[in-house]
A and B are shown apart, each in its own frame.
Chain A
Amino acid sequence: MTITAPSSRLRGMRDLLPADMARFRTIERAFRDELLGWGYDEVRTPTIEALHLFTSAGTLSPQLLDRVYSFLDWDGWTGERVVLRPDSTIPMTRLYSEQYPAGAKLCYVQNIFRFAQGDQPRELWQCGAEVVGDTWPSGDVELIAAASGVLNRLGITGFEVQLSHTGIMRALLAHAGFAPDERADHYDRLLDGDREAMRALEERLPRSLPLHLLFDARGTGAGYLANLRAAFLGDIPEMSTPLDELETVTRALEQAGYTLELDAALARDFEYYTGPVFRFARGGVSLGAGGRYDTLVQDSAGMPVPACGFALYMERIGALLPAMDGEEQIALQIVAEYESDASLGAALAAAQRLRGNGLRAGLAAFASDNPSGRRLIVRGPDAVTPYELRDSDMGPSTPVSDLDELVRMIGGEA
Chain B
Amino acid sequence: MIRLALPTGDLRTPVATLLSEAGLASEEYGAGSRALRLALPGREDVLMRVFREKDLPVQVALGNYDLGICSAVWVEELQSRYPYEDVTVLRPLPLGHGRLVAAVHPDTRARIGPLSDWSSVPGLRIVSEFPAIAERFARRLRLPRATVHGLWGGAEAYPPEDADIAILPARGDTSPQGLHTVATLMEMPALLIGNRRALAGHDLSALLGPLLTAGGEVAGTALRLPRAGSVAARPAPSREPVAERETVRLAIPDGHAQRHTWAALQQAGIVFDGYEEKRSDRRPATTIPGLEVKVIRPQDMPAQVALGAFDLAITGRDWLMDHLWAFPGSPVAEAVDLGRSRYGIVAAVSEDVPADTLAEAVTYWRETGRQSIRVASEYPNVADHFARTHHLGRYQVIPVNGASEAFVPDDSEILIEGTETGSSFRANRLKGIARVFESTNCVIRSTRPVQGQRADLLERLLTRLHEGALQPAG
Contact = CB atoms under 8 A, between A and B. Distances in A.
Given A65-B139, A117-B84, A181-B228, A77 B303 contact: yes
Contacts of A57: 119, 142, 228, 230
B148 interface: yes
Contact of A75 (B143, B145, B148, B327): B327
Interface in B69-85: 83-84
B328 interface: yes
Interface string B122-163: 000100000000010011101111111100000000000000
A410 interface: no
A79 interface: yes
A35 to B, nearest CB: 33
Contact of A181 (B227, B323, B326, B329): B227
B140 A62 contact: yes
Interface size class of A (residues with CB under 8 A): 10 to 19
A66 B326 CA distance: 24
Contacts of A117: 84
B84 A56 contact: no
12 contacts: A55-B143, A55-B144, A62-B140, A65-B139, A72-B326, A72-B327, A74-B326, A77-B303, A77-B306, A77-B332, A79-B148, A180-B230
Contacts of A74: 326-329
Interface in B160-219: none
Interface string A52-96: 100111000010011000001011111111000000000000000
Minimum-distance CB pairs A-B, first 9: A79-B147, A77-B327, A77-B330, A57-B142, A77-B306, A52-B145, A181-B227, A75-B329, A79-B149
Nearest to A50: B145
Q: Which among A57, A66, A77, A78 has the greatest number of chain B C-beta atoms within 10 A? A: A77
B307 interface: yes
A207 B228 CA distance: 32
Contacts of A78: 147, 306-307
Given A57-B228, A181-B230, A52 B144 contact: yes
Given A57-B119, A77-B327, A79-B149, A62 B139 contact: yes
Given A66-B83, A74-B328, A55 B139 contact: yes
B402 to A, nearest CB: 23
Interface in A22-62: 52, 55-57, 62
Nearest to A118: B84
A79 B162 CA distance: 13
B142 A56 contact: yes
A33 B323 CA distance: 50
Contacts of B143: 55
Interface string B76-102: 000000011000000000000000000
A184 to B, nearest CB: 11
B330 A75 contact: yes
A77 B323 contact: yes
Interface in A72-128: 72, 74-81, 117
A78 B304 CA distance: 9
A56 B83 CA distance: 22
A190 B83 CA distance: 24
B383 to A, nearest CB: 17
Contacts of A181: 227-230
B166 to A, nearest CB: 14
A52 B122 CA distance: 10
B372 to A, nearest CB: 11
B345 to A, nearest CB: 21
Nearest to A52: B145
A77 B306 CA distance: 7
A412 to B, nearest CB: 53
Nearest to A53: B145
Contacts of B326: 72, 74, 76-77
A57 B329 CA distance: 32
Contacts of B84: 117
A324 to B, nearest CB: 35
A79 to B, nearest CB: 4
B230 A77 contact: no
Interface string A259-299: 00000000000000000000000000000000000000000
A66 B139 CA distance: 9
Contacts of B307: 77-79
A323 to B, nearest CB: 35
Nearest to B229: A181
Given A66-B83, A117-B84, A76 B142 contact: no
Nearest to B330: A77
Contacts of A66: 83, 139
A76 B327 contact: yes
B389 to A, nearest CB: 16
Nearest to A56: B144
Contacts of A62: 139-140
Contacts of A80: 145, 147
A377 to B, nearest CB: 42
A171 B228 CA distance: 20
A131 B304 CA distance: 43
Interface string B456-470: 000000000000000
Nearest to B331: A77
Given A117-B84, A181-B227, A55 B330 contact: no
Q: Which among B125, B142, B229, B230 has the greatest number of chain A C-beta atoms within 10 A? A: B142
Contacts of A75: 327, 329-330
A73 to B, nearest CB: 8
Interface in A140-157: none
Given A56-B142, A66-B139, 13 more contacts: A55-B142, A55-B143, A55-B144, A57-B119, A72-B327, A76-B326, A77-B330, A78-B147, A78-B307, A79-B125, A79-B307, A181-B227, A181-B228
Contacts of A55: 138-139, 142-144
A309 B230 CA distance: 26
A116 to B, nearest CB: 10
B168 to A, nearest CB: 17
A65 B307 CA distance: 26
A65 B140 CA distance: 9
A170 to B, nearest CB: 13
Nearest to A60: B139
Contacts of B228: 57, 181
Contacts of B147: 78-80
Contacts of B149: 79
B421 to A, nearest CB: 34
